[in-house]
Structure 1
């Protein structure tokens, strides 16, 4: 089994479609890394786009999958071969999502963690806290 993971920003709002009685949420994730150009020595960005298909009946996350949102997505690669209008054969790679979690938004710096109900998938949600979250100081008084 091959498993891929990507963290990046959505390039466009997601679309929710019904295909043969099943619901699919489609979105694209852009991951940008910086690298040093070997000829000039300067740092340059390199963006990789990943097309994602999330086959699920749980569409509650769809309104939050907006352009610019930061997401974590994992799943299996799915390839498709097709013929273009000019007769050339092409292959596309799509990430068939098993788990997607909202990490925040580039537009308004909102933070969504899995325990708020916005992370949907097969894995348990991680428990994250920001500096403004109340911390239970009595947790150290446990007898074990």
Structure 2
């Protein structure tokens, strides 16, 4: 039987990406995102949302791009795969968590989109009749 491990999310970064390098020189960026899901309204008519906090890991050039251009609060669309990781903490307690290994992403924040636009017209351009 076929298997599939793919996750698509849009959310805001909860902290600035942290970029590190492996001894082999591979970039590794870690960051968190918050994903809000609307749940309707309560009895008083106030909107209710559920917030999911997810840790994300990016590798290679993607890690460097994420660390350079994104910061806490930036909106991002990401595609990746879910990974379950377990470890033992300093006290000897067994710990575990799910995290996303980043495969693809797009900047969605206004600042990241605006940087790619053409500069505003200069005063000379105003003389051109249309």
**Cα pair 2:20 2:28 within 8 Å, conserved:** yes
SS of the residue 1:79 aligns to: strand
- Deviation (angstroms), 1:41: 7.7
CA deviations on 1:80-139 (whole Å, 9 max, x unpaired) are 1122345432211110001111111xxxx42528xx4xxxxxxxxxxxx9xx9xxxxxxx
**1:92 aligned to 2:97?**
yes
SS of the residue 1:62 aligns to: helix
**1:66 aligned to 2:91?**
no
- C-alpha RMSD of the superposition: 2.7
Q: TM-score, normalised by structure 2?
A: 0.71
Q: Which runs of 5+ in 2 are unaligned?
A: 121-130
Higher Cα radius of gyration: 2
Structure holding more helix per residue: 2
- Deviation (angstroms), 1:30: 0.5
Q: Which runs of 5+ in 1 are unaligned?
A: 117-128, 133-144
Higher relative contact order (CA 8 A, sep 6+): 2
Which stretch of the first structure deviates more once superposed, 7-16 or 77-86? 77-86
**1:80 aligned to 2:85?**
yes
| Equivalent residue pairs, number | 112
